[in-house]
Amino acid sequence: MRGLRACAPAFEAQADCALAIETDHGHAIEARARKGALDADCVLLPNHMIEALTRAGLLDARRADLGAVATSAVVAADAPLPDVGSLAGLKQELRRAAAVLITTAPSGLHMGSVFERLDLADEIAHKILRFDRSADVNEWLRRHSRRAAIGFGPTTEIVGALGVRHGGLIAQGAQMVLSYSAALTPAGAKTACGAAFLDFLGGAPAREAFAQSGVIRR
């Protein structure tokens, strides 16, 4: 998460604790936690995953609210901004695009359901490209900047990414917004740095860094 990387130096200086940041799909992190294969002191995940892992006794009950992440469009850096703020505009952009890029992660599965609700699933099936990560969507757009392509993913994976342009939040009727929290693992709950990190995430430097990366504060 770009917001976390941006505010990490401030935490390390304030708490005299070193952060080692690893990123992965939320569902992959949850699976590792359930298998006992998660080597971490703290996790940042959608609220429903945090709650499920807490009920299973795999996370400490304390948590820090991080805000919400919505779904946005992404295009190559030199492409015009798409009109995705309305369902009609989104539908037109999907029809006009030479390629439609989504992930195999929850955001991509959600967009697949949106295509069906818009009665476009069959019409655009031949031009849908699926990638494992949003970073792969961004990379494809960078390499094929001359093609009229549009991608979709979490806003935080798009804002500030090199070589691509944030295409705006998609229409409310097609939107998926996930609220995120941070929670300590049993190992992290035993450390002073773990508690300090949760407190830091609720402070102004972290909030500002997350907001600049596209996180919505509710």
Domain 2-67+178-212 falls in which CATH fold?
D-Maltodextrin-Binding Protein; domain 2 (3.40.190)
Dihedral angle computed from the Cα positions of residues 54, 60, 62 and 66, in that order, rounded to the nearest 10 degrees = -70
Domain boundaries for CATH 3.40.190.10 within the chain: 2-67+178-212, 71-174
* % of the chain residues with pLDDT over 70: 99
Instruction: Indicate the angle between helix axes 26-34 and 47-55, nearest 10 degrees.
Output: 0
Q: How far is CA 71 from CA 60, 109, 215, in A?
A: 29, 12, 11
pLDDT confidence bin for 48, thresholds 50/70/90 = very high
- CA dist 194 and 66 (Å) reads 16
With 90 as the cut, is the pLDDT of residue 26 above it?
A: no
CATH of domain 71-174: 3.40.190.10
Q: What is the pLDDT of residue 27?
A: 86
pLDDT in tens, 58-102: 999 999 999 999 999 999 999 999 999 999 999 999 999 999 999
Q: Averaged over 176-205, what is the pLDDT?
A: 94
Q: What is the mean pLDDT of residues 123-129?
A: 97
Categorize the per-residue pLDDT at 218 as very low, low, confident or very high, splitting at 50, 70 and 90: low
